[in-house]
Chains A and B, each alone.
Chain A
Amino acid sequence: MSRRTDDWSPARAAKPAPPASGSLLIRGARVLDPGNGFDGIAHVGVRDGRIEHCSHTPPKAAYDRTIDARGLWLMPGVVDLCARFREPGQTHKASFASEVPAAQASGITTVLLPPDTQPVIDSPAMLLRVQRIARQTGGVDVRVLGALTKGLGGEALAELSALKSAGASGASQALQPIRDMLVARRALEYAHGLGVTVHVFAQNAALAAGGCAHEGPVATRLGLPAIPVAAEVSGIRFWISIIEDTGARVHFCRLSTARGAELVALARQRGLPVTADVAAHQLFLTDVDVDGFDARCHVMPPLRSAADRDALRAAVADGTIGAICSDHQPHEADAKINPFPMTEPGISALETLLPLTLALVHEGVLTPLAAAERLSLGPARIAGLDAGRIEPGLGADLVLVDAETPWTLRADQLRSAGRNTPFDGRALRGRVMRTIHRGHEVFAR
């Protein structure tokens, strides 16, 4: 007899291996704790899912296992503000069963899922369904953003209070626009009344219509329909104008332009309750990478100019952009087998999030502590989660990183079901050695 579940998928048959448990002592790592601004050698003891000991002196208590972590970095587990697991609705692209192991191998212990599943997460029932799949799979904390409007249609408000009660960590339109500015304002006001943070992808739909590449010399030469910088800038300006009216808290997702980052910086200086994130690939790739019609570089928002990329890096460094996320969008191979404008945008990015952030450290953009902060405490604060710190008494979500060893990324060796990465063949330095989720070792290399 086979047991039926609502969310059966063939991939679910392969559940992640049960995690290694028992108490654990991690000795001699370089501990990066953004909570206390601590960067130094320490010993960290983990018991019953919690951090028991964190000090430069070894603990007196006995532990079941000891890891000699000399030469490695110990950071809080990564909190990824945007990853799509494609379930329910698009399990031909990926599923929890395929993506959770990929997240674990990437040092990610908490993910936020946007509501653009199929069907859309715009009701408590859908939210509970996704939470149930997450619970069944286990191994990573899954938080969900509820839809801001019904069906993400941008017209009628979703039942935000009910979504909040069901556990939504915020509200979002994912990549869908709200064309009617009055609806946008009311949605923001309403969410504000509930204390719900709205995650906004601020790209003006009319200015971006039909576009698939950054407006500039490369798109012009390739004849690709372009998305101007003004699409993002006018979007951010509009949302800031209603934040000024309402005082509502807004998180700007996936910044792509220098002027966008500048606007966010100004708004923050003026004390407006805004935060921002950027996808890691946006800090490395530019519109030039699209040349030759490389569909792996088809992303939304588009890859911008080198000057934009450099400004985004500076904004990450000075804290204007408080989080680096993966913007993970796994695709089946067919999604990218088409002429460039017809391909689906997105990168399979869980497994490059931490290595690319480490590359920012190696390139002198971020200190190791700042890198750890942008990957853990920064995003945790934006999402209102108690995570991202290494302190006795707190939950033990940790990642042990070898920051030095060079390796080469191979798309066909990704754990994610999506092999769509433009970083195939890229030489990287530093990778995840162990991931500890709620005290359990869920990944070890």
Chain B
Amino acid sequence: MNAPQRKQSLQLDAHGRLRHLLTLEGLPRELLLQVLDEAEAHDKALRGQRKKQDALLGRTVINLFFEPSTRTRTTFELAATRLSADVLNLQVAASSTSKGETLFDTLKTLEAMQADMFVIRHESSGAAHFFAEHAAPGVAILNAGDGRHAHPTQGLLDLFTIRRYKGGAGESGSDCFAKLTVAIVGDVLHSRVARSDIHGLRILGTREIRVIAPPTLIPAGIEDMGVKVFHDLERGLDGVDVIMLLRLQKERMLGAFLPSPGEFHRDFGLTRARLARLKPEAIVMHPGPINRGVEIEGDVAYGPRSLILQQVSHGIAVRMAVMSMILGRPAESAPRRSRR
């Protein structure tokens, strides 16, 4: 059995179209670029007066969040609403699943409400694959973050942002990645965003991808994903075109990964002084929410080279693109069946 192939076939249908979006790993370059191009169109439309489209009219999207989230859930909700879908937000505390209802039961119960798509966030790596394996035919799973594994729409919106500011829209703009050196800085160990960014950047042919953090926050064997590891920020940032910062979660500061947030900031925080030493055209990104004074200085976060707010706005367009690519195509003729 070939596991990567099995995983890929879970995401793509027989015609190579997106059925679910679980991870960027293994997706064809053309498909990624198609998402980015569609997102460009949505972004353009969103800047006009009439923001609403009817691509998902009559469809039901359930945001099923087992982990607290404001930003991601809101942008998914907005994206679905702007495509005219009916949206249901379910914030499931981890404790309520311990009451006895298994994840499988939760999925089946909600499927019975005729949902067309689940946007799922869960603390366990592999949760999105699990839901996709057990979802009824015709029910799509969109991974909004599973454990440390993947956050593919964040990866896509990061690629979208890089392409827009480093290449420009369209086919020629996508070639920009071959000239770029991208540094991902911070808690790579626990970061699903980092993993999705790395896969996406590699698929689009990025010249060099670096991860920069103290060794406690770098997972073993990450070099196999095609990145260079740096434990020194100054050296790691030398010559980079794009700096992607990661959020350092509070609980990590306590788990002996680091002595203190202050020490992390001194050694790995992006400050104005450090920014000044970079190429003038280097850009700064962060998936948010930021920890001011930890991974980034407040001034830098809202400075002229920061694209943090643009990322948020691009997130809506990218999620609209993914949702409409999965659900918006003509419905398959086969009637939906419910398994089990």
Contacts and interface: CB of A to CB of B under 8 A. Distances in A.
Interface stretch (A194-202, A290-298, A345-353): A290-298
Interface stretch (A212-220, A235-243, A250-258, A403-411): A212-220
B220 A292 contact: no
Contact of B126 (A215, A224, A288, A425): A224
From B1, B126, B149, name the one whose CB has the most chain A CB atoms within 10 angstroms: B126
Contacts of B103: 338-339, 342
A297 to B, nearest CB: 9
Contacts of A291: 3-4, 7
A362 to B, nearest CB: 20
Interface in A294-338: 294, 334, 337-338
B124 A339 contact: yes
A16 interface: no
A294 B147 CA distance: 16
Interface stretch (B170-178, B221-229, B246-254, B297-305): B221-229
Contacts of B223: 217
Interface stretch (B31-39, B127-135, B230-238, B288-296): B127-135
Contact of A338 (B130, B149, B150, B224): B130
Interface in A78-122: none
Contact of B147 (A226, A228, A288, A341): A341
B125 A222 contact: yes
A124 B240 CA distance: 68
A223 interface: yes
Given A221-B25, A338-B104, A293 B222 contact: no
A289 interface: yes
B3 A341 contact: no
A223 B147 contact: yes
A217 B221 CA distance: 4
B74 interface: no
B148 interface: yes
B150 A220 contact: no
A334 B102 contact: yes
Interface residues of B, number: 31
A288 B221 CA distance: 13
Given A217-B224, A222-B149, A223-B150, A340 B125 contact: yes
B149 A292 contact: no
Nearest to A221: B225
Contacts of A228: 220
B220 A339 contact: no
A217 B220 contact: yes
Contacts of B25: 221
A293 B130 contact: yes
B3 A216 contact: no
B47 interface: no
B3 A221 contact: no
Given A219-B219, A220-B222, A339 B3 contact: no
A221 B130 contact: no
A291 B3 CA distance: 6
A228 B148 CA distance: 17
B136 to A, nearest CB: 15
Contacts of A289: 3
Contacts of B4: 291-292
A221 B24 CA distance: 12
Interface in B1-46: 1, 3-4, 6-7, 25
B195 interface: yes
B122 interface: yes
Interface string A405-433: 00000000000000000000100000000
Given A221-B225, A289-B3, A341 B104 contact: no
Contact of A226 (B104, B129, B146, B219): B219
Given A222-B125, A224-B149, A340-B126, 12 more contacts: A215-B219, A217-B223, A220-B219, A220-B225, A221-B224, A223-B148, A291-B7, A292-B6, A293-B125, A334-B104, A339-B122, A340-B124
Interface of A: 215-226, 228, 288-289, 291-294, 334, 337-342, 425
